[in-house]
Amino acid sequence: MVEAARKYDRVMQVGTQCRSSVGLQEAIAWLHEGHLGKILCARGLCYKRRDSIGKTAGPQPVPESINYDLWCGPARLAPPRRNSPKNGSVHYEWHWFWEYGNGDIGNQGIHQMDIARWALGEAEISPRVISVGGRLGYDDDGATPNTQIVFHDYKAAPLIFEVRGLPSTRESAKMDDYRGASIGVVIDCEGGSVVIPSYTRAIVRDKDGKEIKTYEEGGDHFGNFIQAVRSRRTSDLHADIAEGIVSAALCHTGNISYRLGKRLSPEAIREASKADIALAESLGRMEEHLAANKVDLHRTPLTLGAVLKINPQTGRITNHREANQLLTREYRKPFVVPEKV
């Protein structure tokens, strides 16, 4: 997509629209000026309720109103294996199947992961990634994790993403939050933190947690695109396709780690995670959250993903052949994406 946009001199904006928030632009510019010192960790959050989609006994009917061949596109033309009370056999729940979607890390999390990477000032994919998680708290037809941590090991500071689809406790309808954010970003620095609890708002706190600054102003992502179309300058875009590729890759490589992982005991996962302090801290909070939802990790274990090493320039995984095969898919004709522009 990047090659095509450059070859044909086209302006291509992606939908990470938080990049057009004036409040976030100002907050991150202020952060990059060094007012809070060195960034220690950028953490994205998606604590978003996801109920069970139910369990089916076999293939389900497709609504007559849908051209299912077109709907499946490059995916295998196979009958749906889901039928949620709310969305039926086709709509929305596709997010939770690897054939069509990539869970909440790619559904909601792309936005928060993009903000976190923006805050870190990283222009490339992380050189190392590992994920831990599972689909826990209920047994349904979904495949993607409803509880997940992805740890991107950038040299300067880690980028962590956390998914929670279960409520704060089994008896509650409320969702957890982390320092005031449930779907947002928390950036920890030597001299304080920046909490981004929405798409446009940023709260700056000192080391004692006292609020010292707030940024909150919206923006116009569509307007920014139109401006760039008129100027014909890709540099005018807030979210050029090249930025979108990198942030999307953070989602995909995290999921690839998870998909190549193994279910292990909580003790084994703790032992494997203890070298990365921020990851171990996230894991501890995840275990507390699951315990509050009456999840027994000895009976339904978490999956510890494969440690993947990545060449940031090429985007290729250097230590796992099978992982590279998951960077693309076998396209069903005629829905084929060409290798070359």
Q: What is the pLDDT of residues 57-80, one digit of tens each?
A: 999 999 999 999 999 999 999 999
Q: What are the distances in angstroms from CA 267 to CA 124, 263, 296, 297, 335?
A: 33, 12, 13, 10, 45
Examine residue 130 and state whether it is found in any structural domain, yes or no. yes
Examine residue 181 and state whether it is found in any structural domain, yes or no. yes
Question: Which ranges of the chain does DSSP label H, i.e. alpha helix?
Answer: 2-7, 22-32, 68-72, 103-107, 109-120, 221-231, 241-259, 266-273, 277-292, 321-325
Examine residue 71 and state whether it is found in any structural domain, yes or no. no
Examine residue 9 and state whether it is found in any structural domain, yes or no. yes
Examine residue 338 and state whether it is found in any structural domain, yes or no. no
Q: What is the model's pTM?
A: 0.96
Strand-pairing partners, residue 206, are 192
Examine residue 230 and state whether it is found in any structural domain, yes or no. yes
| Residues in the chain with pLDDT values less than 50 | none
Q: What is the pLDDT of residues 183-210, one digit of tens each?
A: 999 999 999 999 999 999 999 999 999 9
Tally the domains of the chain.
Answer: 1
Dist CA 224 CA 230 (whole Å) = 10
Examine residue 341 and state whether it is found in any structural domain, yes or no. no
Domain residue limits at 130: 2-51+103-325
pLDDT of residue 340: 85
Q: Give yes or no for a contact between 197 and 46, defined as CB atoms under 8 angstroms apart.
A: no
Examine residue 67 and state whether it is found in any structural domain, yes or no. no
pLDDT of residue 176: 97
CATH code where residue 294 lies = 3.30.360.10
